[in-house]
Structure 1
């Protein structure tokens, strides 16, 4: 009676054998296993030869169209110890053999070993000279090979890889680069099906350990017979050998003990860091997922906390050893064995989105008054706040960082929204958090100084103190929204001072002294101290924030809830429509989609406009006038040198928004108008309440025109100069034209027929 059974061999080969009584069992299994062994060996040799042909013969075209060998020169550098890492592009393998490329993606550790064997066999062919700079491990191996050659019998052929572990003999590393068609996986999309496969994942580094030596091959020496024993190590933990396994000690039963030889062992650099998925990949109500990345050799020291990285590696379970293996149960931790770590630069991931923006889409966005259209497309469900939305749009675009002679001047814009409760400050923050490609949202009461900057954590793997980045570090190259900014503790709020100006976080904790990047734009919202804004008090008294912190904000907006019948009627209709139809009311134009805005902003980030020298005098004169008015009017806001830098940042953002290469005069005028509008939101209401007289917009424009005429001998001026001066004071062209028309009707102003000159009659 014959029964068929199936078994799995250690190498992963499925064996089939027949039970033929007690006598035939051993012979049948042995015969079949020998046949499968030779078949597997033959297949491995074919694969190795195929890989060797690929490394020797693969060519690529240079810029002039000439074909050159790609990997052969690298093998020469590896043989001469001028290069350590051989990075194999899977696209190159696919061009050579698609089946081989598919096998690499499906069983990466196996083919990494085959590539290493092929490179080891090819190195003698590419070695043109002896290596002069040798380390202790080179001398150790050469000495052992020389002793073995002396003891070898005449005519005996022995492969040195059979005696010495392969990891001990190799002085190079092999890694794979993901195919160009690979799409990055979200961390929560990595499943058990990906174990052993090459994956491509993106995230932000939250924690990073120090680089430590990791033992790969342990070398022991027996105190009785002097024999050497090698122990390859593949897991984070291992049990050292204690008894000598050599034939001399076993036959003589001498019980020799093994002692570890550190200089003869093989160590590699090891580093672990954790990456967390981006905020736009986290579903609403879920906690961000994270995964550990193990880096070895040349892949270490490529990332730090707060960096946005793209990791190519193998998804593997953690192999436990010793007592932990018996107590771990059925569950296993997982990690990614890194093959390639690429730090995403300022706009690399955003340029990928911008590359999909066609010319028709760019024309559709930039047609007409696209500045107003983009601004009103930000939170269209929220009524009003036109200038605030313009400022938020410019904050999303951002300025340009400059570093003259080593001194860094930030280009990011910081904005603070102050005002009464119920004016949609938090809603604007929430919308900007969803709109920005990289963002972090937090609240002042729920955030500590450590949570905003960085925390010192004890690493469970190495028991060392490591840094884990906070909200400002995680928002590097992005936007950090802080609601309830006034509710923060004073000691926690001081941690933001360095970030808002220097764009870095200096850490000196638990023996760790370092500087982390926090190149983020801060959007804060604060409520008055006593419920509503008190115009008889200063800004710092109302918001209870220090002047040193408020001066670091480029724009301070005071949003008040003033009773106004017409405005209240429009607001109520707007809210009722949104509540009933779950969308914004009909507008003069169709608001742009959030994805289209994000892609257009990514396209704007590729521009680096400069400020022409011809505009220097205009900028200087405008700043001097701002300082003069602030001194005369006892300005409760802050007009300092930082105000001038804020104007330059706003004008650069405007030039970026229109995809310009240089800043124009109109950009500076609009930047100063936004600056004056933000100041007037605080100053105008305060001065009106103190004097008991509320000035209309028309009266304020008239005062500006009178100030222009009082400085000269003539009462006639160019209308273009009037429009420009009023724009720098925060007034729109429509408001200026209404004022001129009003006073022209009562014969206070006279305008010529060409509408180019204005004269004050009763000045």
Structure 2
């Protein structure tokens, strides 16, 4: 084989493959790489991954040499493996492809036409790239830290580096020519041309001795059947926003992926790429135009999906029974909701809604008709109430999340744009924020600053694009979480007592929940608690202790949410009448109340989405009545937060007044003076009131002798 390595290095690599072992659980020696060589010889494995931790334990100087000159040692290891494979071949390979048949046929012809003493022309010798049916990859040492894109500079050329970033573009997987095989039209000789760059100049004149001596002028023709093609894909990764210095724009890097590593990442994934940093060799006029400058790329050896804001790998390990038992104990709903942005005070119902946004409802696809299960949320309110902080936390918690602002999100930056692929020259689509968040959460801040044309881009789950006769339609599955600042503020809301938000009706109904906590009336006690919470966070840079309720780790929450999303609970038939009746009551109340928000059939779908999300949170297969009540409570919370109730006297209607009005209406509907306690608690609970609030209201009006409760506390009778 060409490129023979020095004897010392060759013997060192051979001894590493044959002598290196790890101690197993039972104290036995396990020769890791000997097993891989057997699998390579039997075509059961197509890639040999060499862990540099193992190489460093065997020979630290060899590991350092690999880190400093990765491309050369890939070829050295591949040559040594090619020499050793015949010794590890224990059986014949049954499944053969076209290239195997081609090589066997050529070797059989060569053995017939050549005598044992003949010397073959080295130009017609089979290149090692054609004979190898495997790839060699290196895995970085575990102690190596990931680098940002801007830290990879000219000093890293030829070295193994590990870069962290977000994938912004992926090309289609296409075959790339690795070894070109030519046949001469005059003498019939075959010529092979190994190719190591994306572009090459094909051979035209036959270099064989027959054509040169006889001056036949034979021309070469490419034989695709005898050439070797491998899978190829180009990725574009961009550095994270927290790695960009102030006043700079994010930098990007091109990654070339070959063979078995293709299709390992999608746009929007946060990845860590290990590879060799190399210059891109140009040919022809492109090299003349660029002069001494050269583009660079990263030749990928390993692609690992990472968590968004941490340097650890994405944890796909299943949860143990002990972890599930600790999570599903008493008050697990409040514990999970309280673990969302624990440094932010209050907003309990908003955090519960955000938890259901991450879990999501169940998608329905009966007979081709699709009913989405995604929960979309819009938060509105005055500045300084932590809406943007909640958006930022959800962006970090979601495995596939994109954070963007309405002022900087044009239609192209939000959906997709037409780009020209610099490698192939084809016109391709480059996704925006909604495309990169496909299958995850898209957080849009300052939603009201967007233009109306751009704002309506989120209305449909399909992104249509037609520019310069380039029609495309992208089917997306995303969750949208937006933030809209209040237009007139709390003071104006108190003054007018009306809804202060101006939204298009179709967009308002598209959101499952719309919330605003700024209209809650501040009190001296709540203000004191809020101030203590903020000062504690400012002093200790952490949330204050809350008794026995400790926030869950973000990694554990990701794993539990992923487990919840694997469930597909269904709504039983016996709850159909209950859901229909509750929706009819909500429509009736909205029609009788002039200050009520718009109520559409989408509200019923929103209740179903929230109830299935709550069932998922319990890891249940069936939705129960408590899930529906909690879903309706969140809907009432959302509606009440947008409507400011005020009587003609100017007195603010309290929670106790609202509960009394509900029970009074129930008595008038029944045509009597008695109401069952269970029915009253259920009606008030479905309207968003907590059990302790209902109990306090019943006791207060009982003391005022407005109604009486029997000794068993099962009936309420008006006096």
TM-score of Structure 1 vs Structure 2, range by shorter chain: 0.7 to 0.9
Which residue matches 2:197? 235
1:433-512 map, 5 Å? 433=395, 436=398, 438-499=400-461, 505=463
Which residue matches 2:513? 555
Which residue matches 1:176? 137
* Cα deviation, residue 166, structure 1: 1.8
Q: State the aligned residue count.
A: 704
Contact 1:88 1:176 in 2 (8 A): yes
* Cα deviation, residue 218, structure 1: 3.5
* Cα deviation, residue 152, structure 1: 2.8
Which residue matches 1:19? none
1:543 aligns with 2:508: no
Which has the larger displacement, 643-652 or 137-146? Answer: 137-146
Which residue matches 1:90? 51
Q: How far, CA to CA, are the matches of 1:508 and 1:244 in structure 2?
A: 48
Q: How far, CA to CA, are the matches of 1:535 and 1:544 in structure 2?
A: 21
User: What SS does structure 2 have at the residue aligned with 1:236?
Assistant: coil
* Cα deviation, residue 452, structure 1: 1.2
Which residue matches 1:719? 677
1:679 aligns with 2:639: yes
Q: How far, CA to CA, are the matches of 2:502 and 2:423 in structure 1?
A: 45
1:245-284 map, 5 Å? 245-247=207-209, 254=215, 256=217, 258-263=219-224, 264-278=226-240
Which residue matches 1:603? 560
* Cα deviation, residue 489, structure 1: 2.8
Q: Deviations over 1:582-610 (max 9, x none)?
A: 35999782798988356435434323586
Q: Specify which of 128, 135, 160 is matched with residue 166 of structure 1.
A: 128
Runs of 5+ unmatched residues, structure 1: 1-9, 12-36
Which residue matches 1:647? 607
1:383-394 map, 5 Å? 385-394=347-356
Q: How far, CA to CA, are the matches of 1:173 and 1:273 in structure 2?
A: 22
Q: Specify which of 578, 588, 594 is matched with residue 621 of structure 1.
A: 578
Which has the larger displacement, 575-584 or 671-680? Answer: 575-584
Runs of 5+ unmatched residues, structure 2: none
* Cα deviation, residue 538, structure 1: 9.9
Q: How far, CA to CA, are the matches of 1:586 and 1:113 in structure 2?
A: 54
1:745 aligns with 2:703: yes
Q: How far, CA to CA, are the matches of 1:96 and 1:424 in structure 2?
A: 50
Change beyond 3 A, Cα 1:149–1:629:
closer
* Cα deviation, residue 702, structure 1: 0.9
* Cα deviation, residue 729, structure 1: 0.4
Which has the larger displacement, 726-735 or 441-450? Answer: 441-450
Q: Specify which of 311, 336, 346 is matched with residue 298 of structure 2.
A: 336
Change beyond 3 A, Cα 1:710–1:438:
same
Q: How far, CA to CA, are the matches of 1:470 and 1:703 in structure 2?
A: 49
Q: Deviations over 1:54-73 (max 9, x none)?
A: 89x999999xx999984466
Q: Deviations over 1:114-136 (max 9, x none)?
A: 4543554566674966878653x
Q: Deviations over 1:247-290 (max 9, x none)?
A: 456667x4947544243544333221212345566677664443
Which residue matches 2:8? 43
User: What SS does structure 1 have at the residue aligned with 2:459?
Assistant: helix
1:429 aligns with 2:391: yes
**RMSD of equivalent CA atoms:** 5.2
Q: Deviations over 1:667-693 (max 9, x none)?
A: 4332221111112233563xx479988
Which has the larger displacement, 157-166 or 457-466? Answer: 157-166
Contact 1:605 1:656 in 2 (8 A): no
Change beyond 3 A, Cα 1:300–1:114:
same
Q: Specify which of 662, 665, 677 is matched with residue 707 of structure 1.
A: 665
Contact 1:225 1:256 in 2 (8 A): no
Contact 1:676 1:729 in 2 (8 A): yes
Contact 1:186 1:281 in 2 (8 A): no
Q: Deviations over 1:402-422 (max 9, x none)?
A: 666776654442111234566
1:352 aligns with 2:352: no
Change beyond 3 A, Cα 1:424–1:226:
closer
Q: How far, CA to CA, are the matches of 1:179 and 1:202 in structure 2?
A: 13
User: What SS does structure 2 have at the residue aligned with 1:447?
Assistant: coil
TM-score of the aligned structures, taking structure 2 as reference length:
0.78
Q: Deviations over 1:299-358 (max 9, x none)?
A: 334544334555454333323445655665666433222345567899x98863999999
1:520-539 map, 5 Å? 520-527=478-485
TM-score of the aligned structures, taking structure 1 as reference length:
0.74
Which residue matches 1:758? 715
User: What SS does structure 1 have at the residue aligned with 2:460?
Assistant: helix
User: What SS does structure 1 have at the residue aligned with 2:553?
Assistant: helix
Change beyond 3 A, Cα 1:738–1:45:
closer
* Cα deviation, residue 553, structure 1: 1.0
Which residue matches 1:214? 176
Which residue matches 1:185? 146
Q: Deviations over 1:518-545 (max 9, x none)?
A: 4432111235678867999997x94232
